[in-house]
Amino acid sequence: MSRPFKEVLTSGEFVVTSEIGPPKGTNIDKMLHHIELLKDKVHGMNVTDNQSSVMRLSSLAVCHIIKDHGGEPILQMTCRDRNRMALQSDLLSAYVLGVRNVLCLTGDHISLGDHKGAKQVFDLDSVQLIAAAKNLEQGQDLGGNKLDGSVEFCVGATATPEADNMDSQLLKFRKKIKTGAEFFQTQAVYDMSMLKSFMEHTQQSNTKILAGILVLVSAGMAKYLNANVAGVTVPQELIDEIAGAEKGKALQKGMEIAARQIKQIKDENICPGVHIMAIGKEEIVPEILEMAGI
Amino acid sequence: MIIAEQKPIQEIKAMIASYQKILVVGCGTCVTVCMAGGEKEVGIIATSLRMALRLDGKKPEITEDCIQRQCEWEFVDALKDRISKVDAILSSACGVGVQALAERFPDKPVYPALNTTFMGMPEKHGLWIETCRGCGSCELGRFGGICPIARCSKGLLNGPCGGSQDGKCEVSKEMDCGWQLIYGRLKTLNQLDQVEEILPPKDWSTDRDKGQRRILREDVYYEQTV
Amino acid sequence: MAEFEPKLIAFCCINCPSSSVTVCESMGMSIPTNVEVVRVPCTGRVDILHLLKAIESGADGVYVAGCSDGNCQFTDGNVKANRRIERVKKLLDEIGVGGQRVEMYRMSAAMGPRFAEVAREMTERVRGLGPSPLRR
C-alpha cells in the first residue's frame, strides 16, 4: 500500500511523482498496465484532466481506479470545463472516493484541443480553485453555505520556471502560495541554471517544488516544444545530443538526459523532488528512475 | 462601438431566396463606422445578391435603404412605407437592429446580413479588436484600464496562465497576452500593488447569468412606450 | 458560330496608364474595340461597388489600370485599388460569377505598348472564361 502523499512531502525524502494519461475511450488496459508499473515506484500519480483540451476519460474516475489498485493518485483539475458548482462538487466526490491530493491548474484554452467549438468556462482561475479547495476544508462552499462533512486535501499548483515573463508569473506564484498551495509541480525544465534561479524565489515558503521532467523522445519533439509550447525551452546542446543519437536510439538518449537531470536535481539538492512526464510512454519511467539511482 | 462583419453571400442568399421583393436596410451608426453594414455595404450586399440570385434564374426586386440607427424606434418607424411594399427585410445592422425591425414589423420576415461580433474599436484601419465584454460590473480601475475579462482569452483575474510567451497568448501569436499588457501598464504607473491582492471569484450575476439584462432608471422612465 | 467577343471595362488612371493609351495611339497601335476605357483621376477612386456594378450591368470582365509601384500621385491609390480588386475577386467567387473576371494591372507612362498588350491579355483570359454567367 502506498503512503499518503502529504506524509512523503513532509518526510524530507526525495519526492517522485509521475503521470497517468486517461485514454480516449473506455479501453483502460494499457493505462492499468502503467498504473501497475508505477504504483510502487513513485510517490504519487497525477491524472491529467482532459489534457491539452482533448476530451478523455475523466481524471476523477481514473484516480479512483488508481486508489483501487493501491496507488496514490493526484487529481488534476482544470478550470476550463467546469464552473464553480461542478468543481466543488467534484472535489467533494474525490474526497469520498478516497482521493486526498489535488493539483489545481488553469487549463489549456479550448481552441487548442479537439472540441474547438465548445464553450469554455474559466469561471474560476487556478488561484481561486486552490482557495475553493481550502474553503471546503473549512467546511464551507463558495456560496457561503455550511457543509455536512468537509474534506481534507494536499493541494498543489503549477509554476513555469523557464517562463519569459517571470515577473508576472511570480505574481501568480505568490498568490498560489498565499492561498495555501502545499506543493508545486512545474512545467518542463531543461535548463538547470534557470531552475536554480527560479528556486531562489521560493525560499521563503515551506511549499515543495517538484521539478517537471518531460522526457524527450526525438530532436523533432524538442524543436516542437521550443516553437509551440509556452515557457519551455530545450537548450541547443540537448537538441544536438539527442539528434546525434544512433538511429533508433533517440528515446534511449532522451531517457538518459532525463535520468541525468533527475540525478543532478537530487545530488545538488536543487529541488526536493521531481515530476516525470512521459506522455503515453509511462512504461519507461521505472527505468529512468533506476538510471538516476532512485 | 459594436463590431460586426458581413455573412457569406451564399448564407444570406439561402435565407432570402424564396422572396421576390426584398429591402436591404443598413444602419448609419456602429456598423457604418466598422464598414460592415452602412449605406455603402448595403450597396455591395444588394448588388452581390442580385447577381447570385440571377445565376439561379431568379429576378428578385432588391431595394436598398439605410437609416441613422436601427436601435431606436423613431428611425425604425420611418421605414414603415417602404417595408409595407416588400416581402422580406434583410438587415445589415447589428443583432439589436435586426430585432428592432422584427419587433416593429411583426408581419414581415427579417433576416440578418451580418454576424454581430463584439464591442471594441479599430486598432488600425481595417483591424478591429474586442476590448469590452459588457460583464456588468467594471473592474478596469483595478487593472490599469485593461480588461482581463475581455483581453485575456481565459478571463483570468489573478494573473497570467502558463501559456503566455513573448507577450502573446497561447491561442494565437497574433493575440496579445492581456495579462502582459496589464502587468506592463501597472508597472509603468507604479501601481503593481493593485494586482497583488487575491481576487475572489467574480460575481457573474451582472453578466448574462440572470437572463436578459435590463436597466430601469426611475429619473428618466415613462410608462409610455417610446 | 462567331467567336465570342468579351465586353470589358477598364478603369484607367488619368496619369500613367492614360498617357500610355496616348503613346499607344501615337505609335499607331490599336486598343481593342471591345474594351471600354473609363478614365479616373486615380485608381484609388475606384470603389468595390464600381467594379461590382460593371459586372452586374453585363461586363464580361473588368480591370483596373493603375500607375506602377511607387508612382501614384496620391501616394498609394494604386495599392488601395489592388486591395479592393482582391476583395471583389473573393466576392465574385462567392457569388458564383468567378473572381478571374477582374484584375489589377500596373504600368508606367513610358510603357505605351503595355496598355494594348494588357487589353489583349485580359480579352484572351475572359474569352477563355466565356460570357459572364449573368448574360447567359
**Domains and their CATH numbers in chain A:** 5-215+269-282 (3.20.20.220)
Instruction: Round to whole Å and give the CA distance between A144 and A131.
Output: 13
Pairing of strands B110-112, B127-132: unpaired
- Which of A204, A189, A239 is closest to A219 using CA atoms? A239
pLDDT of residue C26: 77
Which is it for strands A44-47 and C61-67: parallel, antiparallel or unpaired?
Answer: unpaired
Q: Do B44 and C133 touch (CB under 8 A)?
A: no
Beta bridge pairs of residue B6: B114
Q: pLDDT digit string (tens) for A208-227?
A: 999 999 999 999 999 999 99
* Residue A280 pLDDT: 86
Closest chain B residue to A119, measured at CA:
B154
pLDDT at residue C21, as a whole number: 73
- Cβ distance B40 to C94 less than 8 Å, yes or no, reads no
Taking the Cβ of residue C27 and every Cβ of chain B, the question of whether any pair is shorter than 8 Å is answered with no
Q: What is the pLDDT of residues B98-112, one digit of tens each?
A: 999 999 999 999 999
**Tens-place pLDDT, residues A198-210:** 999 888 888 999 9
What residues in B contact A179, CB-CB < 8 Å? 198
Q: What percent of chain C has pLDDT over 90?
A: 65
- pLDDT number for residue C107: 87
In terms of Cβ atoms closer than 10 Å to its own Cβ (0-12, 13-18, 19+), residue A271 is buried
B167 touches chain A (CB under 8 A): yes
Q: Which residues of A touch B160 (CB under 8 A)?
A: 165, 168-169, 172
Mean pLDDT of chain A: 96
pLDDT digit string (tens) for chain C, length 136 residues: 468 999 999 999 988 777 777 777 777 777 788 999 999 999 999 999 999 999 999 999 999 999 988 889 999 999 999 999 999 999 999 999 999 999 999 988 777 788 888 999 999 999 999 999 998 7
The vertex-A106 CA angle with A103 and A108, nearest 5°, equals 115
Q: Tell me: pLDDT of B226 over 70.
A: no
Which residues of A fall within a CB distance of 8 Å from B165? 163-165, 230-231
Q: Is C130 on the interface with B (CB under 8 A)?
A: no
Give me the residue from C53, C55, C94 closest to B8, CB to CB: C94
Phi-psi region for residue A139, left (φ > 0), alpha (ψ -120 to 50) or beta? Answer: left
> For residue A54, what pLDDT band results from cuts at 50, 70 and 90?
very high
* pLDDT computed for residue B6 by the predictor: 97
Across the interface, whether the CB atoms of C95 and B51 are under 8 A apart is answered: yes
Does pLDDT of A235 surpass 90? Answer: yes
Residue A52 CA to residue B152 CA, distance in Å, equals: 18
- Residue of A128, A177, A226, A228 to mutate for B, most B C-beta atoms under 10 A: A128
Nearest Cβ partner for B156 among A106, A158, A165: A106
Question: Was domain C8-129 assigned CATH 1.10.10?
Answer: no
> pLDDT tens, B45-73?
999 999 999 999 999 999 999 999 999 99
Distance from CA of B109 to the nearest CA of C (A): 23
| pLDDT, tens digit, 9 for 90 and up, residues B24-47 | 999 999 999 999 999 999 999 999
Angle between the N-to-C axes of helices C77-95 and B9-16, in degrees from 0 to 180, rounded to the nearest 10: 40
Min Cα separation C16/chain B (Å): 28
**Residue B225 pLDDT grade (very low, low, confident, very high; cuts 50, 70, 90):** low
Reply yes or no on whether the pLDDT at A6 is more than 60.
yes
Hey, what's the cell of A232? 519551455
Chain A hits for B186, CB-CB cut-off 8 Å, are none
Chain B positions in Cβ-Cβ contact with residue A141 (cut-off 8 Å): none
B149 Cβ contact partners less than 8 Å away, ≥ 6 residues apart: B133, B135, B139, B155, B202
Complex-level ipTM: 0.93
Residue B113: CA count within 13 A, CB half-sphere:
29
- Residue B191: list chain A partners with CB under 8 A: none
Q: What is the pLDDT of residues A89-125, one digit of tens each?
A: 999 999 999 999 999 999 999 999 999 999 999 999 9
A111–B171: do the CB atoms touch at under 8 Å?
A: yes
Name the band, by pLDDT with cuts 50, 70 and 90, for residue A1: low
For chain B, list the strands marked E by DSSP: 2-6, 21-27, 61-67, 88-91, 110-112, 114-124, 127-132
Distance from CA of A290 to the nearest CA of B (A): 31
User: What are the structural domain ranges in chain B?
Assistant: 2-117, 133-206
Pair A17, A210: CB distance under 8 Å: yes
The pLDDT of residue A77: 98
Classify B2-117 by CATH class: alpha beta
Query: What's A283's DSSP letter?
Result: G
CA distances from A221 to A53, A214, B72, B171 (A): 19, 11, 57, 20
The reply to whether C55 touches chain B by the CB within 8 Å rule is: yes
pLDDT digit string, tens, across residues C78-114:
999 999 999 999 999 999 999 999 999 998 877 778 8
**Quick check: B48 and C91 CB within 8 A?**
yes
Average pLDDT over residues B185-196: 96
Q: Is B98 helix (H, G, I), strand (E, B) or coil?
A: helix
Rounded to an integer, the average pLDDT of A181-195 is 96
Through-space distance between the first and last CA atoms of chain A, rounded to whole angstroms: 19
Per the CB < 8 A criterion, the answer to whether B34 and B4 are in contact is: yes
Q: In the numeric block, which cell numbers belong to residue B5?
A: 462583419
